[in-house]
Amino acid sequence: MIFVTATIIGIAAGLQRSTIGALLGVALVSVAFMAAVAISIVPPPLTTLFIALGGYNLGFIGYLMTADMLEQRRA
């Protein structure tokens, strides 16, 4: 579920077409993980963060590749 959510966030960051939006998405995913570590009694494993960041990157890169293919098709 974390991977899917992060992928959707990556797609949404790509739709913004803003470098700041893309960086803010990664920062918010990382801040949310750090908040979970600080608040919970048993901290979540670090692999959860890596899974979330991987999903974010996959969604972002997937969006960019799809947009590029569609743009080449129009030309």
Taking only the tens place, the pLDDT of each residue in 26-59 is 898 899 999 999 999 998 899 998 999 999 999 9
SS3 (DSSP) at 32: helix
Q: Look at residue 16 in the predicted model and tell me its pLDDT.
A: 86
Contact call for residues 7 and 56 (beta carbons, < 8 A):
yes
Specify the pTM: 0.82
Contact call for residues 37 and 52 (beta carbons, < 8 A):
no
Domain boundaries, the chain: 2-74
Query: Could you report the per-residue pLDDT of 2-29, keeping only the tens digit for each?
Result: 899 999 989 998 888 888 888 888 898 8
Average pLDDT score over the chain: 90
